[in-house]
Amino acid sequence: MAWTLKLPLTDEVIESGLVQDFDASLSGIGQELGAGAYSMSDVLALPIFKQEESNLPPDTDDKILPFQYVLCAATSPAVKLHDETLTYLNQGQSYEIRMLDNQKIGELPEITGKMVKSIIRVVFHDRRLQYTEHQQLEGWRWNRPGDRILDLDIPMSVGIIDPRANPTQLNTVEFLWDPSKRTSVFIQVHCISTEFTMRKHGGEKGVPFRIQIDTFKENENGEYTEHLHSASCQVKVFKPKGADRKQKTDREKMEKRAPQEKEKYQPSYETTILTECSPWPEITYVNNSPSPGFNSTHNSFPVAEGNGSPSHQPEPVIQVVDNLLPTATPQDAQQWLLRNRFSPFCRLFTNFSGTDLLKLTREDVIQICGPADGIRLFNALKGRVVRPRLTIYVCQESQQAREQQAKHENGDAAANTFFVYHAIYLEDLTAAELTEKVAQLFNISPRQINQIFKQGPTGIHVLVSDEMIQNFQDEVCFVFFLVFR
């Protein structure tokens, strides 16, 4: 008997059935969404694509920020949906920033009924310019002597207390305010974006800035150092009325675009909300002003000049050099950068330890920081010290010590006096520099020293001048007399 096996379906029939089943399984997808389910504008309108939420880390999506800062200036309509907002400002015009309290009742009890301090800065948005911020600001100061980059319009501001503007920080202002009360601060930006471009092409080609606000609460010592919140926004600054013209131009360009193209851009909002960001690195200033230590009005200091030994064996104090150690932690490295005036690069080297920084070559730091700051950072990392132009040795002596010294100079072997000298290094070779170094050495204020005299022939007192210091010779012993106010 022969058996015949008949397959019920051929390969073609099986394949056709699978395709039909797969098409049927997809046929209902999107029906509940309607005809516009696949519109790109609807997709981009989802929260995940919104600019104001894209800058926040995922774990803070539901977090209510303690404060909100609103800049009362319209955003540009020519910004794409996924980009950060851009706001145009006029040079020197006062703009309001509303300081809003978003706290829930009892959320931050430690600041209830207390003041907080906010610091407003105008900084560079471009990372390349952030690396050379100090150099850029110094160039601006040189070209605009006496002007500031950022100012407060105090008469128009409401609710701010103790406003301050440090003369050495042209782009920073600070003030105290009570979060429970209405607070609005008016700022003026006096630099324009084209001042920091290589060639002046007009406002459209200028560099963008960032307005950043950092808020701090009071610590146990009464200092406002505990960080609470930071936020910033991107701006461009034009010459007076230039921002209005640029805003109008952008609006007209957008009106000429096709509807499909307009959907790719953000609408223009009447105000600009500053978005949360990391706090700006703050330089710690230490007050090293000496306290008055002398009550006498006429003291003399024997001084030997030059690099050789004075008439009595000196014991010079070794100059303390702030070298970065390989064992320094990333936190120690950040403090070292701040102390040595490299604050613009603190963010870049956030996770660098002492070993990481010391491994950088000269080419590395120049590429990262630019030629000027790169060479300065490399020299600081390698601990290179510039040789002083003049070294003098000085000690403080009493009347009894002077008498014993005179006996010693007259050949009295019984006089056994030991004098301790300190080294003073001069670079400018001026009387003012000498006064400051002597005052610092003996822990007195430079203002206490009225004049410095050198004992000349036959005991006369010769007033020390810049020219005299510049003509000091090596291996010469003499006596300085300080006249106090």
pLDDT in tens, 133-170: 777 888 888 888 778 999 999 889 999 998 988 888 88
Query: Do 67 and 101 form a contact (C-beta atoms < 8 A)?
Result: yes
Residue 412's pLDDT is what? Answer: 55
C-alpha neighbours within 13 Å on the C-beta side of residue 402: 13
| Statement: residue 288 has pLDDT above 50 | no
Calculate the CA 91 to chain-centre distance: 22
Segment among 8-22, 168-182, 318-332, 390-404 with least mean pLDDT: 8-22
Between 407 and 334, whose confidence is greater? Answer: 334
Statement to judge: residues 346 and 395 lie in one domain: no
Query: Cβ(293)–Cβ(444) under 8 Å?
Result: yes
289 pLDDT more than 50: no
Does residue 421 share a domain with residue 355? no
Same domain membership, residue 246 and residue 118: yes
Query: Which tens digits make up the pLDDT trace of 202-221?
Result: 444 788 899 999 999 888 88
The answer to whether residue 125 is domain-embedded is yes
Query: Do 138 and 221 fall within a single domain?
Result: yes
Q: Could you tell me the pLDDT band of residue 232, with boundaries at 50, 70 and 90? A: very high
CB 349, CB 337: distance < 8 Å: yes
Question: What is the overall mean pLDDT for the chain?
Answer: 74
pLDDT at 38 exceeding the cut of 60: no
Six token digits for residue 302: 């024997």
What is the Cα–Cα distance from 169 to 149, expressed in whole angstroms?
9
- Residue 322's Cβ-count burial label (10 Å; 0-12, 13-18, 19+) is exposed
CATH number at residue 470: 3.10.20.90
The answer on 469 and 421 residing in a single domain is yes
* Rounded Cα–Cα distance for residues 375 and 365 (Å): 7
Q: Domain range for residue 461?
A: 388-408+417-483
pLDDT digits (tens, 9 = 90+) for 361-404: 888 888 888 888 888 888 888 875 567 778 887 776 654 455 56
Percentage above 70 pLDDT, the chain = 69
Q: Is the pTM of this model over 0.95?
A: no
Contact (CB, 8 A) for 159 and 101: no
Instruction: Measure the N-to-C terminal CA separation of the chain; round to a whole number of Å.
Output: 135
Does 103 fall in a domain? yes
Backbone angles phi, psi at 141, to 5 degrees: -60, -40
Tokens found for residue 450 = 């009225």
Q: How large is the average pLDDT for residues 15-34?
A: 47
Compute the 3-state secondary structure of the chain and give helix, strand, coil in percent, each to the nearest 5. Answer: 30, 25, 45
Say if 61 falls within a structural domain: no
pLDDT confidence of 234, banded at 50, 70, 90?
A: very high
**297-309: average pLDDT:** 47
Mean pLDDT confidence for 23-32: 45
Range name among 118-122, 139-143, 402-406, 435-439 with the lowest pLDDT average: 402-406
**Which of 199, 150, 155 has the alpha carbon at shortest distance from 170?**
150
Domain limit, last residue, from 260, 276, 292: 276
Look at residue 290 and tell me whether its pLDDT is greater than 50: no
Q: Are 344 and 370 in contact (CB under 8 A)?
A: no
263 and 191 in a common domain: yes
Give the per-residue pLDDT at 65.
Answer: 78
**How many domains are contained in the chain?**
3
> Which of 61-65, 112-116, 168-172, 379-383 has the weakest average pLDDT?
61-65
pLDDT of residue 25 exceeding 50, the answer is: no
Whether residues 335 and 452 fall in one domain: no
The whole-angstrom separation of Cα 311 and Cα 402 is 14
Residues 459 and 369 in one domain: no
**How far is residue 273's CA from residue 68's CA, in Å, rounded to a whole number?**
8
Q: Is residue 9 pLDDT above 70, yes or no?
A: no
Q: For residue 295, what pLDDT is reported? A: 37
Give the best-scoring range by mean pLDDT among 284-298, 351-365, 420-434.
Answer: 351-365
Query: Residue 274: what pLDDT?
Result: 93
Residue 423 lies in a domain: yes
